Amino acid sequence: TGSGKSSLVHLIPRFYDATEGRVLIDGVDVRDVSQEALRRNIGIVLQETILFSGTIRENICYGRPEATEDEIFAAAKAAQAHDFISEFPEGYDTQLGQRGINLSGGQKQRIALARCLMQDTAILVLDDPISQGDLETGTDIIDPIKNMAGSRTIIIVSHRLSAVRFADHIITLEKGRILESGSHMDLLEA
């Protein structure tokens, strides 16, 4: 806690700009790209999940209102949300209260992840996607994310090893500085 993980990932979509150094994506400084173009190519699920008043369906396809039913279901299934959504009497047409107040923390995170997946962005940033206590295990969310990585860059911020052990590269921060860096095996050996 407080090591700078969230602050670091907030530099990628330019929620604020670096005061020193540069943030590069494919060798291009993010400050040389318009915020609109940059954010159109980055999907983000923040630790503090944001949902809107409206239906679950509207929340999932926010930003892509033309999405088909099959695409909405596929995104919800990938985010491990389809089963609990289907249990609601009105399913995907269930009305959400302000900020999704009628859902648990884990359910909100999974709907936010489904919304993010609908965007099909090149970069996916997940700020502690398994922080909510009602998720049975980290694999509820992480396994589907692993399976859809493909050519996408996925950046995961987490306190839990189960969320990052499959990563190609892991960076451990302490007090705003990189403490360790490498694959899971590299870090175990160190």
pTM: 0.80
| Structural tokens at position 179 | 């403490």
14-18, 44-48, 126-130: which range is least confident on average? 126-130
CB 22 within 8 A of CB 71: no
Which H or E run includes 95? strand 95-96
Q: What is the mean pLDDT of residues 136-161?
A: 69
Percent of the chain past pLDDT 70, that is, above it, reads: 87
CB atoms within 10 A of CB 90: 11
Q: Is the pLDDT of residue 115 over 70?
A: yes
Three-class SS of residue 106?
Answer: helix
DSSP letter at 32? G
Q: Is the pLDDT of residue 2 over 90?
A: no
Q: What is the mean pLDDT of residues 54-70?
A: 92
d(CA 125, CA 128): 9
Three-class SS of residue 99?
Answer: helix
Backbone angles phi, psi at 74, to 5 degrees: -60, -45
CB 2 within 8 A of CB 8: no
Q: What is the pLDDT of residue 137?
A: 46
Cβ-based neighbours of 127, under 8 Å, separated by 6 or more: 5, 6, 9, 44, 45, 46, 47, 157
Q: What is the pLDDT of residue 130?
A: 59
Tens of pLDDT along 4-19?
788 888 899 999 898 8
Q: Is the pLDDT of residue 25 over 80?
A: yes
Tens of pLDDT along 71-111?
999 999 988 899 999 999 999 999 997 777 788 888 888 89
d(CA 159, CA 127): 10
Q: What is the pLDDT of residue 90?
A: 95
CB atoms within 10 A of CB 136: 8
Q: What is the pLDDT of residue 187?
A: 84
144 confidence band (pLDDT: 50, 70, 90) = low
Q: What is the mean pLDDT of residues 33-51?
A: 87
Q: What is the pLDDT of residue 138?
A: 53
Cβ-based neighbours of 93, under 8 Å, separated by 6 or more: 55, 56, 57
